[in-house]
A and B are shown apart, each in its own frame.
Chain A
Amino acid sequence: MAKVFIYPATSLILSDLVARYGHTPLSSATAIRERIQTAGIESVPLQITPEEPKKGLRWAAVEVPSGVRGRMALYGPMIDSCDAAIVIKDSDLAFGCMGCARTNELVKYLVREKKVPRLDLNYPKSEEEGTRFVAAIKRFLEGLGGGK
Chain B
Amino acid sequence: MTVPVRIAQLSCGPEYSGVQQEINEAAKAVNGEIFFPDIALKDIIRDFEAFGLDVRSPDLKLAIARAKALAEGRIDADAVFIATCFRCAEAAIVRNELRRYIHNNSKLPVVSYSFTERTTAGTLLTRMEALTTIARRRALLARETQQGITLGVDSGSSTTKAIVMKDNRIVGTGWQPTTEVLKSAQDVIGHALTEAGIRRDEIEAVGTTGYGRFLVGKEIRADLIQEELTVNSKGAVYLADRQHGPATVIDIGGMDNKAITVQDGIPGTFTMGGICAGASGRFLEMTAKRLGVDITELGPLAMKGFANHVPMNSYCIVFGTQSLVNALAAGSSREDVAAAACHSVAEQVFEQQLQEVDIKEPVLMVGGTSLIEGLVHAMGELLQTRIMVPKYSQYIGAVGSALLASGFIRDD
Contact = CB atoms under 8 A, between A and B. Distances in A.
Interface of A: 42-46, 48-54, 63-71, 74, 92-102
B58 A67 contact: no
Nearest to A70: B16
B116 interface: yes
7 contacts: A50-B117, A54-B117, A65-B85, A67-B12, A100-B12, A102-B57, A102-B90
A44 B85 contact: no
A43 B18 contact: yes
A12 to B, nearest CB: 14
B15 A65 contact: no
Contact of A67 (B13, B21, B55): B13
Contacts, number: 106
B21 A66 contact: no
B90 A101 contact: yes
B382 to A, nearest CB: 27
Contact of B17 (A50, A96, A99): A50
B18 A50 contact: yes
Contacts of B57: 99-102
Q: Which of B16, B19, B55, B84: most chain A Cβ within 10 A? A: B16
A86 to B, nearest CB: 19
Contacts of A44: 20-21, 24
A59 to B, nearest CB: 13
B58 A98 contact: yes
A98 B19 CA distance: 18
B348 to A, nearest CB: 19
A50 B118 contact: yes
Contacts of B15: 45-46, 48, 96
B17 A67 contact: yes
A66 B85 contact: yes
B58 A94 contact: yes
A96 B20 CA distance: 13
Contacts of A101: 55-58, 60, 90
B59 A53 contact: no
Given A44-B24, A92-B58, A66 B41 contact: no
B14 interface: yes
B214 interface: no
A65 B88 contact: yes
Nearest to A52: B18
B151 interface: no
Interface in B290-330: none
Given A68-B85, A93-B41, A52 B16 contact: yes
B13 A42 contact: no
A44 B44 CA distance: 25
Given A43-B18, A44-B24, A48-B18, A67 B85 contact: yes
A96 B86 contact: no
A112 to B, nearest CB: 18
A51 B82 CA distance: 23
A50 B19 contact: yes
Contact of B116 (A42, A46, A66, A100): A66
Interface in B164-205: none
